[in-house]
């Protein structure tokens, strides 16, 4: 199954108050494994960059000034994600910004029925722990040392690894037994002596109960496959 891990960077926290997208990063996954096919673009937000946002991702107004506006890259972005499920950490934030940009150019919004929110998955898996991306990377032994600042593509790459773990684990350390090991185990099992009780258990069924059971079994005729244990065949007559 094809899935797209997605992350964005923005000028702030609220698209309804004029904050805009400045970066989109996407990583394609097939069956929970990254394929190497990515989509990445910087976007001119057509406004200034607040210092608070710059401190998070390091993208300045000067750097973004010659980058394309969202309208120029929207179709390429939509073609890349197609109708695949979208894997996003704290999805309401990113989807809110993307849909605000789509609305500005008259495009239909992305719907939440195609979204897999890894923050919600992590909270169910680790209800009493911090579930920021850095925390999850540390918890699952994923190297996030390159992440000195937020970046949409890098964060998508890290989230793809986290998502693999949340979805069941990468099984990178799975060790299978060799055929020789299986044979040795079978030989040990076959050669093992059965263990006997030093003192046999007492029979708890009375003679009357045994007789009643034997009489009932005889009424079953040949259907009673265990009847020979109760009524063994007579020994062959001497010739």
pLDDT in tens, 106-119: 999 999 999 999 99
In the predicted structure, residue 42 carries a pLDDT above the cut 90: yes
The reply to whether 225 falls in a domain is no
Give the residue-averaged pLDDT of 42-60. Answer: 97
Euclidean distance between CA atoms 95 and 66, whole angstroms: 25
pTM for this entry: 0.70
| CATH number of 141's domain | 3.30.420.10
The reply to whether 185 falls in a domain is no
Q: Are 26 and 45 in contact (CB under 8 A)?
A: no
pLDDT in tens, 31-41: 999 999 999 99
pLDDT in tens, 170-184: 554 444 545 555 445
The reply to whether 108 falls in a domain is yes
Q: Is 150 a catalytic residue?
A: yes
Q: Which DSSP category does 137 fall into?
A: H
> 120 is in which domain, residue-wise?
2-166
Residue of 40, 57, 89, 150 with catalytic role: 150
The reply to whether 63 falls in a domain is yes
Q: Which residue in 105, 44, 106, 110 sits closest to 80, CA to CA?
A: 110
The reply to whether 211 falls in a domain is no
* pLDDT confidence of residue 173: 41
The reply to whether 150 falls in a domain is yes
The reply to whether 65 falls in a domain is yes
The reply to whether 79 falls in a domain is yes
Domain count, the chain: 1
């Amino acid at each position: 199954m094809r899935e797209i891990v997605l992350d964005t960077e923005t000028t702030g926290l609220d698209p309804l108050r004029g904050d805009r997208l400045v970066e989109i990063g996407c990583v394609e996954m097939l069956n929970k494994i990254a394929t190497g096919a990515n989509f990445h673009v910087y976007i001119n937000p057509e406004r200034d960059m607040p210092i608070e946002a710059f401190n998070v991702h390091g993208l300045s107004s000067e750097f973004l000034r010659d980058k394309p506006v969202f309208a120029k890259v929207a179709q390429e972005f939509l073609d890349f994600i197609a109708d695949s499920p979208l894997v996003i950490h704290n999805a309401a934030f990113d989807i809110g910004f993307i849909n605000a940009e789509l609305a500005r150019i008259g495009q239909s919004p992305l719907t939440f029925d195609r979204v897999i929110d890894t923050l919600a998955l992590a909270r169910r898996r680790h209800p009493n722990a911090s579930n920021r991306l850095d925390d999850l990377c540390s918890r699952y032994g994923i190297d996030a040392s390159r992440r000195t600042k937020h970046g949409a593509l890098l964060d998508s790459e890290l989230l793809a690894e986290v998502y693999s773990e949340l979805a069941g684990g990468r099984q990178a350390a799975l060790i299978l037994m060799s055929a020789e090991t299986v044979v040795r185990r079978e030989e040990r099992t076959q050669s093992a002596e059965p263990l006997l009780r030093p003192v046999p258990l007492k029979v708890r069924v009375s003679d009357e109960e045994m007789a009643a059971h034997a009489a009932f079994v005889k009424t079953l005729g040949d259907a009673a496959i265990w009847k020979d244990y109760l009524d063994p065949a007579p020994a062959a007559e001497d010739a």
